[in-house]
Amino acid sequence: MGVLSAVILYFVAQKFKVEEDPRIDEVEKMLPGANCGGCGFAGCRAMAEALVVRDDISALFCPVGGAECMKKTAAYLGKVAPEKEPTVATVRCGGVCSKRPRTNEYNGTKKCSMAAAFYTGETACAYGCLGYGDCVDACQFGAIKVNPETGIAEVDPDKCTACGACVKACPKGIIELRKKWPKNRAVYVSCVSKDKGAVTMKACKAGCIGCGKCAKVCAFGAITVENGVAYIDSQKCKLCRKCVNECPTGAIVLKGMDPLPKEPKAPAAKPAAAETKSAEKKESVNEQK
């Protein structure tokens, strides 16, 4: 009886055995194994399958493993490695408690998705960070936290893998994946308020009022002002930092670098070579005007 069952089981197992490319297992081992979905697939296994099956893998990219991981897998599979610039999640809201006064108290379930579906939030700003941490829940890497003092989510750029889970989780669309510069340098408009300047000002002292001064000063055409809010294209921005000094509300945030001195002619403290050139070039453009 037992032997018979064993024989039957053996044949059934043989019959239903799934033929699989052994390379999928290997590729899966090379991937980070975070199963975060940042690549657009359900998990690392699905990504590995796609990498093995497709001839052209230029559209596939694992943001967690980054270029190095992709190079390794591509070399193993004998394919051309996809290239992508590293990016980092950036929270574009500067409405800290001191600058954005609370006008009411939210007593419902502390989830951004629920609060945002119902009303504007605890401040008069309808666009700012709610601070209940849906992004924190979405992040698998512990890279994002809500600072209890400011009430705003903050990203640790060293831990961030740019998987994009927080971008999807934020109901206010505040988080953006922006180009990652060395040493975590960054310049961005830390506000997404589409309100008119006066309304924004009333709600938050750190908001972008859409005055457009930054756009005028930018030599690279990286800044656009639309719907009452400025936006810096991280692909075009060269980190010249001129806009930072122009902004009347301090909505443009500079990270990882010293600001330009107020006098435009004095050279910047210790800028990297590429930035110095571009900054100088830009200054000369300005002088010509």
Partner 1 sequence: MANKFIIATAPHMHNPHSTQSLMRDVIVALMPALAVSAVVYGLSVLYVTAIAVVSCVLVEFLIQKYLIKGTPTLGNLSAVVTGLLLAFNLPANIPWWIIVIGAVVAIGVAKMTFGGLGHNPFNPALVGRVFLLIAYPVQMTSFPEIEPVVGGIVDTFSGATPLAAVKSGAMSVTDANLMSLFGGFNAGSMGELSATALLVGGLYMLWRRVITWHIPVAVLGSMAAFAFIVALMQGGGAELYALPLFHLLAGGAMLGAIFMATDYVTSPMTPKGMLIYGVGIGVITMIIRLWGAYPEGMSFAILLMNAVTPLINKYVKPRRFGVTTAKK
Partner 2 sequence: MKTFPIGGVHPSDNKKWSCDKAIEVLALPDVVNIPLGQHIGAPATAKVAKGDKVLTGQLIAEATGFMSANIHSPISGTVTAVDLQPNAQGLRQMMITIKREGDEWMPEIDRSAEIKRECALDSAAIIAKIKDAGVVGMGGATFPTHVKLSIPNGCKAEFLIINGVECEPYLTSDHRTMLERGEELLTGVEILKKALGVEKAIIGVENNKPDAIANLNKIIKEKKFAVVVEPLKVQYPQGGEKQLIAAVTGREVPPPPALPIHVGAVVCNASTAVAVYEAVQKNKPLIERVVTVTGKDVKNTRNLLTRMGTPISTLLAEAGGLPEGDVKVVNGGPMMGRAMVNIDSPVTKGCSGITVFSGADVRRVPTSECIKCAKCVEACPMGLEPYLLQRLAAKQMWEEMEVERIPDCIECGCCQYTCPAGIALLDYVRLGKQTVMGIIRARAAAAAAAKK
* Rounded least distance, CB 248 to partner 2, Å: 23
| Residue 148 tokens, joined | 């209890």
The residue within the footprint of partner 2, chosen from 126, 201, 225, 272 (CB under 8 A), is: 126
How far apart are CB 111 and partner 2 at their closest, in Å?
Answer: 7
Tell me how far apart the alpha carbons of residues 266 and 285 are, in angstroms, rounded to a whole number: 15
Q: Specify whether the backbone of 86 is left (phi greater than 0), alpha (psi in -120 to 50) or beta.
A: beta
* Cα 171 → chain centroid: 15
- d(Cα 136, Cα 156) in Å, to the nearest integer? 12
The site string for partner 2 over 72-111 (x = CB under 8 A, - otherwise) reads: -------------------------------xxx-xxx-x
Options 32, 97, 101, 106; binder of partner 1; rule CB under 8 A = 106
Residue 269 dihedral angles phi and psi, to the nearest 5°:
-55, -70
The distance of closest approach from Cβ of residue 266 to partner 2 in the complex, given in angstroms and rounded to an integer, is 43
Residue list 173-212, contact with partner 2 (CB under 8 A): 194-195
- Choose, by CB under 8 A, the member of 23, 45, 71, 113 that binds partner 2: 113
Task: Say which amino acid occupies 73.
Answer: T
Decide whether 106 or 220 has the Cβ nearer to partner 1: 106
Q: Which does 113 bind (CB under 5 to 8 A by kind): partner 1, partner 2, none?
A: partner 2
CA distance linking residue 89 with residue 233, whole number of Å:
14
Q: C-alpha distances in angstroms, 143 versus 30, 154, 232? A: 22, 8, 23
Q: Does 103 bind partner 1 (CB under 8 A)?
A: yes
Write the CB contacts of 99 (distance below 8 Å, at least 6 apart in sequence). 204, 205, 206
Q: Is 219 in the site for partner 1 (CB under 8 A)?
A: no
Q: Is the Cβ–Cβ distance between 129 and 204 less than 8 Å? A: no
Q: Is 114 in the site for partner 2 (CB under 8 A)?
A: yes
Which chain residues interact with partner 2 by CB under 8 A?
103-105, 107-109, 111, 113-114, 117-121, 124, 126, 194-195
Which chain residues interact with partner 1 by CB under 8 A?
103-108, 114, 118-119, 122
